[in-house]
Amino acid sequence: MPRILLVEDETDIADTVRYALETAGFGVDHAPTAGEAESLASAGRHELAILDIGLPDIDGLELCRRLRRHRDLPVIFLTAQAGEIDRILGLELGADDYVTKPFSPRELVARVRVVLRRGQRQAEPPSRAGGFEHDLAGRRIRYRGQLLDLTRYEYGLLAALLQRPGAVLSRGQLMDRVWGDALESGDRTVDTHVKTLRAKLRSAAGDAEPDAIRTHRGLGYSLDVEAGPA
């Protein structure tokens, strides 16, 4: 039974959504605050999160960023105003979907099913690409068969690139995804970690291998999955 993390401070809405999800065969953990959501999410047993944007402690967008720092959790936002939709899209958080209040619980359940199906389709191929083997649950990455010994931030960077092989991610997007609101920040933070990451990839694959991380001047970085034998 897939478990959903539901973060919503309005009891009526939370009860309605919980009932609809449970009727549809989902397990539901409900948190009325972002703080409680973070501790529930730390067990890593949810397949999707439904996040209200207006929460009493931190907002749903910031919560999304924090949850995604540990793993790539599919997220559907609940929004109360059109302005919030612009913020979701503007922040490039990679929201999987959003629904605007008031919404029909049946429609929300349908969206949940679509997002989960999409996730299942994508789960297999990206976990093995261009010589990389990504064990998401164990937060481990192998390259050319060798387990990489990565720091938390190197892992985050490589995982973000692996999630969308070939796509160019800007330094800002990588900062947001990997460092979130950490104090250490600035463009050079990303560059420094890319440098150490490249060195580790080289030592795993040998100097003859082409560089798997490609620099796009003024744009950012991408993972070159065509670089070598898969």
The closest of 162, 171, 159, 151 to 221, measured between CA atoms, is: 171
Q: Is 9 in the site for Ca ion (CB under 5 A)?
A: yes
Choose one: 9-17, 43-51, 89-97, 199-207; the region binding Ca ion (CB under 5 A).
9-17
Q: Between 80 and 230, name the residue whose CB sits nearer to Ca ion.
A: 80
x/- site string to Ca ion, residues 14 to 53, per CB under 5 A? --------------------------------------x-
Q: Between 13 and 227, name the residue whose CB sits nearer to Ca ion.
A: 13
SS3 readout for the chain: CCEEEEECCCHHHHHHHHHHHHHCCCEEEEECCHHHHHHHHCCCCCCEEEEECCCCCCCHHHHHHHHHHHCCCCEEEEECCHHHHHHHHHCCCCCCEEEECCCCHHHHHHHHHHHHHHHHHHHHHHHEECCEEEECCCCEEEECCEECCCCHHHHHHHHHHHHCCCCCECHHHHHHHHHCCCCCCCHHHHHHHHHHHHHHHHHHHCCCCCCCEEEECCCEEEECCCCCCC
Choose one: 54-62, 115-123, 128-136, 214-222; the region binding Ca ion (CB under 5 A).
54-62
Q: Between 40 and 53, name the residue whose CB sits nearer to Ca ion.
A: 53
Q: Between 80 and 182, name the residue whose CB sits nearer to Ca ion.
A: 80
Q: How far is the CB of 32 from Ca ion (least distance, A)?
A: 9
Q: Which two tokens stand for residue 140?
A: 């481990």
Q: Between 20 and 190, name the residue whose CB sits nearer to Ca ion.
A: 20
Q: Is 72 in the site for Ca ion (CB under 5 A)?
A: no
Choose one: 1-9, 81-89, 111-119, 133-141; the region binding Ca ion (CB under 5 A).
1-9
Q: How far is the CB of 192 from Ca ion (least distance, A)?
A: 39
Q: How far is the CB of 154 from Ca ion (least distance, A)?
A: 36
Q: What is the contact surface with Ca ion in residues (CB under 5 A)?
A: 9, 52, 54
